[in-house]
Amino acid sequence: MSAVAPAVPSYASGTSDVPLLGDTIGDNFDRTAAARPDADALVDVPSGRRWTYGQLREDVDALALGLHAAGVVKGDRVGIWAPNLPEWTLVQFATAKLGAILVNINPAYRTHELEYVLNQAGISLLVAAPSFKTSDYEAMIKDVRPNCPALRQVILIGRPNWDELMADGRGGDRAELARLQAALSPDDPINIQYTSGTTGFPKGATLSHHNILNNGYFVGRLCGYTPDDRVCIPVPFYHCFGMVMGNLGCTTNGATMVIPGPGFDPKATLKAVAQERCTSLYGVPTMFIAELNDPDFDSYDLSSLRTGIMAGSPCPVEVMKQVVDRMGMTEVTICYGMTETSPVSTQTRADDSLELRVSTVGRVHPHVEVKIVDPETGLTLPRGEPGELCTRGYSVMLGYWEEPEKTAEAIDRARWMHTGDLGVMDGDGYVNITGRIKDMVIRGGENIYPREIEEFLYTHPDIVDAQVVGVPDERYGEELCAWVTLREGAPQLTAEALREFAAGKLAHYKIPRYVLAVDSFPMTVTGKVRKVEMRAKSVEMLDLGEAAKVRNA
């Protein structure tokens, strides 16, 4: 009898003849600036401000020296709480040159979330915009500051203390900055990004120069970036999508960063692409949908577009087809990743067929490994069988900030990051994400962990118990649905009433869109809530069948 050949395992490694970058973010940035001092580096369309690489280096160095004069040293945590402003980018590179750890704070955070992050990270200096949209950052900082003992200084962008910081730095010693840079290692922590996970509070994914510099570099390479590319970045800087795939993707490849506005606006984005002749455009699916549906879409000249990235949440097939056909982004790519992996682990290639780009999240990234394992045994499954996606390589975070137990839950002894996502790998190594083992909800690119919302709902005087699940949504990919049991005699709780109760306490994207008042939750025989069943029943009760049919990669 002939032996049966073993099944091909769901494992792939990203072989590459392009080596990893071995320098720090500051040194790499300086190398690009020295090579292309007169080329466009950063364009802020709303204000009309522009920087060449030479000018950007001057301002980054001045800010770094200003922060140093203010007492910031290697290892200090510097918070940044602002929308997409050029100053955000200056702070990103200035802190990297000092070896200070930049802590990204979501612009949508409210006071209790801000206070938690300031204390958990031990932020000593906070750079913030005075306000954005309806958020009065200055007032919120004043409110929480007495409860944040580590916070010794607050710098408000555009206010006198920002101008003083820059002025102090301009008179600083560049030789001293060079000495500080030379004392840094690529493996030093340089960035903390808060991400929802297996607890009710966000965890601080701690990333090194080596992590994010290389991920930005290879994302850009797979988009085919050269110094001639101009990348429109409407995705938020506080997230890896903006600061790594956007800013570092540009600087490592000598391309131009284009900021269309402080927050996403479809008209502003289309205007920026047309005005600046952008060759690449980023976005989560909801952003592309808004752009395509803009009533003036046909009046914008988008002929310069070639590539771009759609990521952050599942990508509907029809949207991808329109992005290729109507926006001319014939080389658009899909990326899959998570904050903990810097972020990208898989990406479609520019020459992949449209079918592969709309039905998969691509193949493994250069210098990265991925595998699909049985969640129970941890053994690698044969190709074609669904299991948990794990990833390993240079991109895996150092760990969660000051949470070794949580780090050990996510990264095993062999340094595999367990994503909690269910995936399938086909015979050619392409991966399709089919669901999540964890209950995390991804709404329009925002990661939301239901337990945090549930803990908040318990503070409502009429709610006895609460469970939150994600339900399908044509615009955002997923929306939050809260199942609640109410105290006897309590009035019916509407979604509108819940929104009023949560306003100013929860970030807007964390407020459930739907509320279902029930007598009890579906449970297993061991007493665990059956969230899978709740999701299915929610779709039925809310008549979301059409949204559930939307095909996603």
Pair 126, 155: CB distance under 8 Å:
yes
Strands 344-347 and 363-364 come out as antiparallel
pTM confidence score: 0.85
- Please give the pLDDT value at position 447: 73
- Please give the pLDDT value at position 439: 72
- Please give the pLDDT value at position 548: 79
- When pLDDT is averaged across residues 66-76 and rounded to a whole number, the result is 98
Separation in Å, CA 91 to CA 100, 148, 445: 10, 22, 24
pLDDT tens column, 462-514 = 998 889 999 999 889 999 999 998 988 999 999 999 999 999 999 999 999 99
pLDDT tens column, 354-379 = 889 888 999 999 999 999 999 888 99
- Please give the pLDDT value at position 13: 98
- Please give the pLDDT value at position 286: 80
- When pLDDT is averaged across residues 136-165 and rounded to a whole number, the result is 98
pLDDT tens column, 273-325 = 999 999 999 998 889 988 998 999 999 999 999 999 998 776 777 788 899 99
Q: Using pLDDT thresholds of 50, 70 and 90, give the confidence band for residue 198.
A: very low
Q: Using pLDDT thresholds of 50, 70 and 90, give the confidence band for residue 551.
A: low
Q: Using pLDDT thresholds of 50, 70 and 90, give the confidence band for residue 523.
A: confident
Task: Say whether pLDDT at 197 is over 50.
Answer: no
Separation in Å, CA 459 to CA 79, 102, 454, 512: 29, 33, 9, 15
Give the whole-angstrom CA distance, residue 195 versus residue 449. 9
DSSP state of 247: I
Domains in the chain with CATH codes: 1-16+361-437 (2.30.38.10), 441-548 (3.30.300.30)
- Please give the pLDDT value at position 319: 85
pLDDT tens column, 234-248 = 999 999 999 999 999
